[in-house]
Amino acid sequence: MEGVSMSLEGSRMKEEDSYIANVFQRYPVELVRGKGAYVWDSNGKAYIDFMAGYGVALVGHCNDKVVDAVKRQAERLITCHCSCYNDTRLEFLRRLVSVAPKGLNKVFLCNSGAEACEAAIKIARKYTKRHGIVAAVNSFHGKTMGALSITYASKYREPFKPLLDGVNFVPYSNADRLEELLEQDSRERRSIGAVILEPIQGEGGINVPDDGYLARVRELCNKYDLLLILDEIQSGLGRTGMLWASEHWGVVPDVMCIAKGMAGGVPMGAVLARQEVMDALKVGEHSNTFGGNPLACAAAKATLDCIIEDDLVGNASRMGKYMKDGLLALKDKHKVVRDVRGLGLMLGVELRFDVRDVLMDGLSHGLMMLYSGRNVIRLLPPLVVDEDIASRALSILDRLLTREEERRGVV
Ligand SMILES: *Cc1c(COP(=O)(O)O)cnc(C)c1O
């Protein structure tokens, strides 16, 4: 905060802190505007935004198609509860189902990732009539009570116990351990109904599973008659260079959660499921007030159009490779870098030290990045990045890593 503490935006940040719940680790920047892969603060300083609101600015900030769709819808109809029909909602649903993994043709609309995971848990309980659920070590599915119950980090869980009963965590990317648990459950209690996984773990450190893993999980779910729920909230919609990350391994889930960037920055989440699975929920057994509102649907339809018509999936794949090659070169050059991993534009750079100083240093150099655990820098660039922006970000990161090595005395 040094240097800004006496400034006008410094005092505004202080005032915002005085009102808002003190639950966020905050960056000392006041953002006022965004376009594409850039955001600007109240001093007019530009940042390359590889934080992108935790990946929400998927199609770029203030994407023209999204802005236009929101403007037009806002003048026509903003609210329309799902107990009434709506033309914009129908257009969006038709588009979403047309690109969804095979067979996932029923959709529950909601407003966030956690809310999507809550719905998925209820769908699994109702459909399987079993309450047990298996999640992975280092998973993240949100912080509401149900979603928190399948989220791994004990610092999030401990203060809020008791959480949901019957949650088992197994090591990620280890199908043998999952099989042991399922085999034991099928012999003893038969209480497990579903397995929930992120195809690539985001908050847990950008962990890409071994190649055979998801396919084996799919087989195990078939064998033990369990639902496979994939949380594509961070990995979905083109981020990893495929529309759905599960496509990298040819796996189709029974239930899929999406949210984050799906409506170009307007809050929205969704659960997709096979018809007979979704139909386990009867009228009144789950609902919400805002889900499927026309404003979010218009934004989401425009977002999907962008992703597909502008080939942002292909761009994520190409630029992801470009970025990853660049990051691997930085790993060769800088001893502080321990590992580089990820797929497409969902990338992690693991350092030997806490990444906080690098992130803060990044701000002063005009590059916004995320952490993912203490030691991992997470990059979730908008899928509209080009080589120019990517190479600029890489050269800033190069400088940041040099400074970090100086600070830590690494040579
Ligand atoms: C962000 C995220 C969530 C939670 O979404 P919220 O909208 O913050 O509730 C759940 N799962 C994954 C994989 C996420 O990245």
> Which amino acid residue places its CA nearest to atom 15 of ligand 1?
234
Q: What mean pLDDT is predicted for residues 37-54?
A: 98
Instruction: Calculate how far, in angstroms, residue 223's C-alpha sits from the geometric centre of ligand 1.
Output: 29
Nearest Cα to 61, choosing from 25, 87, 31, 97? Answer: 31
Alpha-carbon distance of 374 to 391, in angstroms, equals 25
Nearest Cα to 211, choosing from 195, 223, 222, 200? Answer: 200
Task: Check pLDDT > 80 for residue 359.
Answer: yes
Phi/psi of residue 31, each to 5°? Answer: -90, 135
Alpha-carbon distance of 163 to 159, in angstroms, equals 10
pLDDT tens track for 235-288: 999 999 999 999 999 999 999 999 999 999 999 999 999 999 999 999 999 999
Q: Please give the single-letter amino acid code of residue 19.
A: Y
3-state DSSP assignment of residue 246 = helix
Substitution site in 196, 233, 256 for ligand 1 pocket (most atoms within 8 Å of beta carbon): 233
Local confidence band at 7 (pLDDT 50, 70, 90 cut-offs): confident
Instruction: Calculate how far, in angstroms, residue 350's C-alpha sits from the geometric centre of ligand 1.
Output: 21
Tokens 């990298």 correspond to 248
Q: Which atom of ligand 1 is nearest to the CA of 143?
A: 9
Q: What are the residue numbers of the active site? A: 140, 231, 260
Name the CATH superfamily housing domain 2-59+311-408: Aspartate Aminotransferase, domain 1 (3.90.1150.10)
Helix H or strand E segment including 379: strand 376-379
Q: Which atom of ligand 1 is nearest to the CA of 267?
A: 7
Asked if residues 393 and 325 have their Cβ atoms less than 8 Å apart, the reply is no
Instruction: Calculate how far, in angstroms, residue 409's C-alpha sits from the geometric centre of ligand 1.
Output: 37
Q: Which atom of ligand 1 is nearest to the CA of 260?
A: 7
Q: Which pTM value belongs to this model?
A: 0.97
Instruction: Calculate how far, in angstroms, residue 383's C-alpha sits from the geometric centre of ligand 1.
Output: 18
Asked if residues 245 and 233 have their Cβ atoms less than 8 Å apart, the reply is no
Task: Check pLDDT > 80 for residue 3.
Answer: no
Q: What is the pLDDT of residue 1?
A: 47
Each domain of the chain, given as residue ranges in start order, spans 2-59+311-408, 64-309
> Which amino acid residue places its CA nearest to atom 6 of ligand 1?
113
Residue 344 makes CB contacts below 8 A (sequence gap 6+) with 238, 239, 240, 241, 242, 316, 317, 320
Task: Check pLDDT > 60 for residue 5.
Answer: no
CA-CA-CA-CA torsion sign (254, 196, 208, 395): positive
Domain covering 64-309, topology: Aspartate Aminotransferase; domain 2 (3.40.640)
Instruction: Calculate how far, in angstroms, residue 345's C-alpha sits from the geometric centre of ligand 1.
Output: 17
366-16-145 Cα angle (round to 5): 95
Q: What is the pLDDT of residue 120?
A: 98
Q: Which atom of ligand 1 is nearest to the CA of 147?
A: 10
Q: What is the pLDDT of residue 410?
A: 86
3-state DSSP assignment of residue 243 = coil
Q: What mean pLDDT is predicted for residues 122-151?
A: 98
338 to 172, 258, 303, 374, 377: CA distances (angstroms):
20, 31, 36, 13, 11
Alpha-carbon distance of 167 to 284, in angstroms, equals 26
Higher per-residue confidence, 8 vs 90: 90
Asked if residues 254 and 280 have their Cβ atoms less than 8 Å apart, the reply is no
Phi/psi of residue 40, each to 5°? Answer: -125, 145
Q: Which atom of ligand 1 is nearest to the CA of 231?
A: 13
Substitution site in 121, 145, 203, 256 for ligand 1 pocket (most atoms within 8 Å of beta carbon): 203
> DSSP states of 179-229 as a string?
HHHHHHHHHTT--EEEEEE-SSBSTTT-BPPPTTHHHHHHHHHHHTT-EEE
Residue 45 DSSP symbol: -
Task: Check pLDDT > 90 for residue 411.
Answer: no
Q: Which atom of ligand 1 is nearest to the CA of 54?
A: 1
Local confidence band at 6 (pLDDT 50, 70, 90 cut-offs): low
Can you name the residues that pair with 195 across neighbouring β-strands?
134, 228
Higher per-residue confidence, 308 vs 2: 308
Alpha-carbon distance of 183 to 180, in angstroms, equals 5
Q: 319: left (phi > 0), else alpha (psi -120 to 50), else beta?
A: alpha
> Which amino acid residue places its CA nearest to atom 11 of ligand 1?
141
Ligand 1 shell residues, CB under 6 Å? 54, 112-114, 117, 140-142, 198, 202-203, 231, 233-234, 259-260
Asked if residues 128 and 194 have their Cβ atoms less than 8 Å apart, the reply is yes
Alpha-carbon distance of 139 to 137, in angstroms, equals 5
Alpha-carbon distance of 88 to 301, in angstroms, equals 8
Alpha-carbon distance of 204 to 151, in angstroms, equals 10
Asked if residues 253 and 123 have their Cβ atoms less than 8 Å apart, the reply is no
Would you mind telling me the total number of residues written for the chain in this entry? 411
Nearest Cα to 141, choosing from 171, 165, 113, 180? Answer: 113
Q: Two tokens at 80?
A: 């329309």
pLDDT tens track for 144-201: 999 999 999 999 999 999 999 999 999 999 999 999 999 999 999 999 999 999 999 9
Task: Check pLDDT > 80 for residue 407.
Answer: yes
Task: Check pLDDT > 70 for residue 373.
Answer: yes
Instruction: Calculate how far, in angstroms, residue 153's C-alpha sits from the geometric centre of ligand 1.
Output: 14
Can you name the residues that pair with 306 across neighbouring β-strands?
none
Other C-beta atoms lying within 10 Å of the C-beta of residue 346: 26
Instruction: Calculate how far, in angstroms, residue 164's C-alpha sits from the geometric centre of ligand 1.
Output: 18
Alpha-carbon distance of 177 to 183, in angstroms, equals 10
Q: What mean pLDDT is predicted for residues 76-95?
A: 98
pLDDT tens track for 282-317: 999 999 999 999 999 999 999 999 999 999 999 999
Q: Two tokens at 143?
A: 């912080």
Substitution site in 24, 141, 201 for ligand 1 pocket (most atoms within 8 Å of beta carbon): 141
Substitution site in 234, 239, 262, 378 for ligand 1 pocket (most atoms within 8 Å of beta carbon): 234
Alpha-carbon distance of 168 to 134, in angstroms, equals 5
Q: Two tokens at 19?
A: 């009102």
Residue 278 DSSP symbol: H
